[in-house]
Amino acid sequence: MSWIRFDRYLSVSIGVKPLVQIEISKRPLREWRLLRLLHRLGELLGHQVVLVLLGVDRLGEDGVAAGFGFAQSAGGVAEVLEQHGHVDYLVNNAGITVDKTMRNMTVDDWHAVLRVNLSGAFYMSKAILEHMIGRGFGRIVNISSIIGETGSIGQANYAASKSGLFGLTKSLALETARKGITVNCVAPGFIDTEMVAAVPKEVLDRVVASIPMRRLGHPDEIAHAVRFLLQDAAGYITGSVLSVNGGMEM
């Protein structure tokens, strides 16, 4: 979990800590790469990002995120509230992949991805919701993916988890629209990160050729999109999916 200090706001986000990135890299799993965008988001606003070692502690031998559930999320939120008094922003950006075709995907593979990517957003949103309602203000941004819009061979679990965030976003937006809370979603396309750079050049060239802008997105462009949805200027936007993908999916 991390939080970002703004002038008068405090943001909480759930993400996979660096230790887990190392552990996942030794397994047939890939940690979704957007946690570091929160660092950049803090830099854009001129404030420090503080990381707390909560969130997904480890993956069990069956690939399931061990110890990751509502109780842990609620405990983390309670800790932040005790230390800082309030939370205004929640960015749900945790994610993992276990890429296999449906024929080869196990039930555990399915549940591991859904538990982190989709249930994680539910856990954190539920944990902070009463606090936001009580204050009459809140901003929740869920980080989805273009894969949730298009699907992808070998990623049925990941696509389901990311498209599930669309429904979660819209439903919670309806429930909180009169309570001073907005709930929106950002769906990034292919972003220029270390993980994408590791893709074979011929494969990456085909991906870029399929993007109307003929380039990968920049991490800053995702951070700016999230920042916009957190600002007061976006106060009349709720239940929306902001696709940042260079025109790859319209």
Give the active site residues.
158
Nearest Cα neighbor of 10 from 81, 73, 76 is: 81
Report the DSSP pairing between strands 89-92 and 96-97.
unpaired
Identify the DSSP state of 155. Answer: B
Measured at the CA of 151, the angle between CA 91 and CA 204, to 5 degrees, comes to 90
Side chain identity at residue 24, one-letter code? I
Sign of the CA dihedral with 194 first, then 195, 201, and 203 last: negative
Contact predicate 181/139, CB 8 Å: yes
Alpha-carbon Rg for the chain in angstroms: 17
Q: Judge whether 201 and 161 are in contact, CB under 8 Å.
A: no
Where helices occur in the chain by DSSP H, the ranges are: 18-25, 35-44, 70-84, 107-114, 120-135, 147-150, 156-176, 194-197, 201-209, 219-230
Name the β-bridge partners of 217.
191
